[in-house]
A and B are shown apart, each in its own frame.
Chain A
């Protein structure tokens, strides 16, 4: 695409003038394939737009806000009542923060489902995850600033968790978020983190990620792309820039309207008197962690550390994901296990968050938690199994020449057996893990030992039954033996 100087019309002339002065049509960024003109490719960019809106609204609020326990609430109230559009500003700031977290999450999950994290973009994924943590950090630190009874009590649940972490992490985080000068020091540190340190870290990570994006380019669509599709590119300026501008303005208009329709109400100020009135409840993006902490198995001594270990494990797995999922297949149809795991992750997050929202402050019985978490996973697994079966059945209709009449009964039996085994496996694994955690935390009753033994036996039986099913299936086709080399050890050749 040539520069803009040759274009006709007023808009073309204006763009040409700007381009000739600023050199925008000769940018450092490479052109992008035309298939990338799709909103799903720009979820991360929209999260950055949300960050910019937050920066602008935050800077205006910073002119009035005073980060001290005595004045934090009153200065926030002043913005609400006396500043032109003050309440609207606060609402836009909050809802854009929500949108930023949601967009970052959608960006991550979309990337996972279409395999953008695979070679050579592993480090980009890690940097993106770090940006996600910083985004959550914005939410955590910003929540305390209005100094309401709700924000104070919820934030202190989080600060309390820091003490349960292993050393030296606990001391380091304590120093960062709490300091040693009580509420005043804590609020000041949260404010500094929110307006200086975290934005600076996010900007540095953004530059690093953009650099890597420029090095690797936009990822191919999951189903692969032809050379012709890759070669059909459009320049960053003005086409992609204008497209992104359209998306950003629509996003901005949406945020404005939502903020006008659902204006924010400021809860009561935090004080020693009001402290007991609120049930500690974090904002929605931390509700799933809060719900895990509320499970009764973690109520005993050391339970908090165990619960935090579970949550930490989730985050660690997310970070190192590109180094676990190293298969070359990128198409959704060829990654049934990872797609199912991804769907389970999203399903569990949504379920735990909603459950946390409707049960504020309530302790969750362990059996109930195992049933609901296991049940959700099972439902998603069965749904995914059904979807993939349908997919393969349709594909097989095109690919195989075996008469369909020979297959239905045996396939139905195998499918049913597989479903039962997955269900039994999910229940026995859940019960087994539950018993192990209970024993590790000191519950040495005969009932829990019996539960451990029975769930272990059920799990072993399930594994044996699965091996037998595989053996039976392989006797008929020999397909598994051909594909899974490890199974050939000790396998008698026909």
Chain B
């Protein structure tokens, strides 16, 4: 279980780093670029929420709720697909 959670955290951190790089490289002056900026930043925040949730749950000796984790990943997928659609 711990390895499984650690892998998730590594994946989420990688996602955060990727979105940060994109954010850093952007100069959003048009509305479309602003939308992309907002979507990547939201992805970053949601990924951080999931990492915090995993950390808090393991600290309180509880397994993270599968429902909430699924909702979080679903939100990430929706944000990513929206970004791809915009691009």
Real binding pair: yes
A interface residue numbers (CB < 8 A to B): 7, 9, 11-12, 15, 82, 84-85, 87-88, 234, 238-239, 242-243, 245-246, 249-250, 252-253, 256-257, 259-260, 263
B41 CB–A CB distance under 8 Å: yes
CA gap between A7 and B56 in the complex, in Å: 12
Q: Say yes or no: is B45 at the interface (Cβ < 8 Å to chain A).
A: yes
Is B34 touching A87 in the complex (CB atoms < 8 A)? yes
Can you name 16 extra interface pairs (CB under 8 A) apart from A82-B29, A88-B37, A252-B45?
A9-B6, A87-B31, A88-B38, A239-B60, A242-B52, A243-B56, A245-B52, A246-B49, A246-B56, A249-B48, A250-B46, A250-B49, A257-B39, A259-B38, A260-B35, A260-B37
- The 10 closest A-B CB pairs, nearest first, are A260-B38, A253-B45, A253-B42, A249-B45, A88-B34, A256-B38, A242-B56, A260-B35, A249-B49, A246-B49
**Which single residue of chain A is at the shortest CB-CB distance from B51?**
A11
A252: nearest residue on chain B (CB-CB)?
B45
C-alpha gap A78/B66 in the complex (Å): 47
Query: With an 8 A cutoff between CB atoms, is B27 at the interface?
Result: yes
A239 touches B53 (CB 8 A): no
Contact of A246 among B6, B35, B52 (CB under 8 A): B52
16 contacts between A and B (CB under 8 A): A12-B59, A87-B34, A88-B28, A88-B37, A238-B59, A242-B52, A245-B49, A249-B46, A249-B52, A252-B45, A253-B41, A256-B41, A256-B45, A257-B42, A260-B34, A263-B31
Question: Do A84 and B27 have beta carbons less than 8 Å apart?
Answer: yes
What separation, in Å, do the CA atoms of A209 and B79 have in the docked complex?
Answer: 38
**Does B55 sit within 8 A of A, measured CB to CB?**
yes
Q: B9: CB under 8 A from chain A? A: yes
Give the shortest distance, in Å, between A280 (CB) and chain B (any CB).
30
Q: Main SS of the interface on chain B?
A: helix
**Are the C-beta atoms of A256 and B28 separated by less than 8 Å?**
no
Q: Say yes or no: B39 contacts A260, CB within 8 Å.
A: yes
Least CB distance from A123 to B in Å reads 33
Closest A residue by C-beta to B43: A253
Interface hits, B39-87 → A, CB 8 Å: 39, 41-42, 45-46, 48-49, 52-53, 55-56, 58-60
Is the CB–CB distance between B34 and A85 below 8 Å?
A: yes
In the complex, A238→B6 CA distance in Å?
Answer: 19
| CB pair B37 A85 closer than 8 Å | yes
Name B1-47 residues within 8 Å CB distance of A: 2, 6, 9, 27-29, 31, 34-35, 37-39, 41-42, 45-46
Question: What is the chain B residue whose CB lies nearest that of A8?
Answer: B2
Residues of B within 8 A of A84 (CB): 27-29
> Within the assembled complex, what's the spacing in Å between the Cα atoms of A9 and B39?
31
Q: Are B59 and A7 in contact (CB under 8 A)?
A: yes
Residue of B nearest to A251 (CB): B45
Knowing A88-B28, A260-B39 touch, does A246 contact B53 (C-beta < 8 A)?
yes
Give the complex CA separation of A257 and B9 in angstroms: 24
Smallest beta-carbon distance B71→chain A, Å = 11
Write out the residue numbers on chain A whose beta carbons fall within 8 Å of the beta carbon of B34.
Answer: 85, 87-88, 260, 263
The residue on A at minimum CB distance from B47 is A249
A contact residues around B58 at 8 Å (CB): 9
Q: A256 to B75, alpha carbons, bound, how many Å?
A: 14
Closest to A89 in B: B34
**A146 to B7 Cα, complex, angstroms:** 48
Task: Give Cα A213 to B83, complex, Å.
Answer: 43
Bound form: Cα–Cα A259–B39 in Å: 11
Q: What is the bound-complex CA distance between A238 and B56, given in angstroms?
A: 8
What is the distance, in angstroms, from B32's C-beta to the closest C-beta of chain A? 10
CB distance from B75 to the nearest CB of A (A): 8
Give A234 to B56 CA distance when docked, in angstroms: 11
Among A11, A82, A85, point to the contact of B28 (Cβ < 8 A).
A85
Interface centre among B31, B35, B42, B53 (most CB of A within 10 A): B42
A11-B53 Cα distance, complex, nearest whole Å: 12
CB distance from B8 to the nearest CB of A (A): 12
Residues of A within 8 A of B31 (CB): 87, 263
**Of all chain B residues, which has the CB nearest A238?**
B59
Q: Chain A residue with minimal CB distance to B55? A: A11
Q: Which residue of B lies closest to A254 (CB)?
A: B42
Taking CB atoms, residues of chain B closer than 8 Å to A249 are 45-46, 48-49, 52
Give, as a whole number of angstroms, the nearest-CB distance from B9 to chain A: 7
For A9, what are the chain B residues with a Cβ–Cβ distance below 8 Å? 2, 6, 58
Give A145 Cβ to nearest chain B Cβ, in Å: 22
C-alpha gap A9/B9 in the complex (Å): 12
B-side contacts of A242, CB under 8 Å: 52, 55-56
Among residues of A, the one whose C-beta sits closest to the C-beta of B6 is: A9
The complex places the Cα of A250 from the Cα of B39 at a distance, in Å, of 13
CA gap between A84 and B24 in the complex, in Å: 12
A246, B34: Cα distance in complex, Å: 24
* Complex Cα spacing A28 to B6, Å: 33
Docked CA distance A374–B29 (Å): 51
Q: In the complex, what's the smallest C-beta–C-beta distance from B26 to chain A, in angstroms?
A: 8
Residues of B within 8 A of A243 (CB): 56
